[in-house]
Amino acid sequence: MPEGRLSAAAARPRSREIVQALAAELSKLWSLPAAWLIVGGSLILNLLLSAAFASAGLQGLTGTRDVLDIGLASISYIQAGFIILGITASCSEYAGGQIRTTLTAMPRRGLQLAASHLALTILVVPAALVTAASGVLVAAIVLDASASFDPGSAVGPLAGVTGSLCLTTLISAAIGVLLRRTLPAAAVVLGYYFIAGPLLREHAAYAKYFPDTAGVVMWFPQPQSDGTGALTPAQGALLLIAWTLAVFAVAAVVYRYRDT
C-alpha cells in the first residue's frame, strides 16, 4: 500500500477512537444523576439570589441599580456549584472502582482524560450561559429596567461569566483527578476560592494573577487606583486558560503513571 494511503488508513482509526472516547464520556456524564442535580440546583439558587439582590437594589441597599451588576452578583456564590460539578464528574468513578472498567475499555489514559474534560465542557458551557443569563433576566424584571436595559451590553459579561465558570469547572475536575476523593478535593478548591483567595486579594498585589481573581475580571473588571494596574477581561481570560492548562497537565502526568 502506498505511504499516503497507509497514513490515511491509520488516521481513520485514530479519529474513530477519539470520537468513541468522547461519546463514552458524554454517555457517562449524561447518566450521572449528581451532575444534573448540581446543574439544576445551581440554576434555581441563582434565580433566588438574583431576585434577592434585585429586591435589595429596589430598596437602595446595593449601591447600584445597574442590571448587569446586580444580575451577575450571585455568580461569585454560584460558582461553588460548578466547582462541585467538576469534582463530582472526575471523582465519581473512583468511589465504586468503575475507573478500572473505564481504563480497560480505554487504555490510553491521556485520551480518556482529555475526552472526559471535553465532555464536561460540552455540558458546562450551556449550563453556565443559561445560569448567568437567567440572573440578568430576573434582575431586569424585578428592577423594571426592560425599557432602559440594552441586551447588547450583556454579551461581553455573559461570555466572560460562561468562560470563567467553564474553566473553573475544568480546574476543579483536574484537581479531582489528582486527589481522587470528592470531599478532600472540594475542601481544597472551595477553601481556596472562598477563604484563601479573598484573603490573598486583600493583602497581596500578586493575587490578581491567581485563578479566582482572573476569573472575576472576565466579567467584572475592577480598575485599580493604586497604580499597580488592573487586569483586563482578555488578560484575565488568558491567565485562567493558562492555569487550566497547567493544572490539567499536572493531572495528566500523575494520571498516566499512577496505579488506579
Where helices occur in 143-222 by DSSP H, the ranges are 155-179, 182-191, 197-203, 211-216
Check residue 145 and give its pLDDT: 62
User: Is residue 54 a part of any domain in this protein?
Assistant: yes
User: Is residue 12 a part of any domain in this protein?
Assistant: no
The pLDDT of residue 10 is above 50: no
The total of structural domains in the chain comes to 1
User: Is residue 222 a part of any domain in this protein?
Assistant: yes
User: Is residue 191 a part of any domain in this protein?
Assistant: yes
Distance CA 177, CA 258 (A): 11
| SS3 per-residue string spanning 212-260 | HHHHHCCCCCCCCCCCCCCCCHHHHHHHHHHHHHHHHHHHHHHHHHCCC
Check residue 259 and give its pLDDT: 65
Distance CA 63, CA 61 (A): 6
User: Is residue 8 a part of any domain in this protein?
Assistant: no
Q: 2 vs 104, which has greater pLDDT?
A: 104
User: Is residue 1 a part of any domain in this protein?
Assistant: no
Check residue 174 and give its pLDDT: 97
Cell of 87: 469534582
Q: What are phi and psi of 211, to 5 degrees?
A: -65, -35
Handedness of CA 107, 29, 122, 255 (dihedral sign): negative
Averaged pLDDT, 24-32? 92
User: Is residue 16 a part of any domain in this protein?
Assistant: no
pTM of the complete model beyond 0.95: no
Query: Do residues 240 and 162 touch, judged by C-beta distance below 8 A?
Result: no
User: Which residues span the domain enclosing 156?
Assistant: 25-257
Check residue 105 and give its pLDDT: 81
Averaged pLDDT, 82-99? 89
User: Is residue 130 a part of any domain in this protein?
Assistant: yes
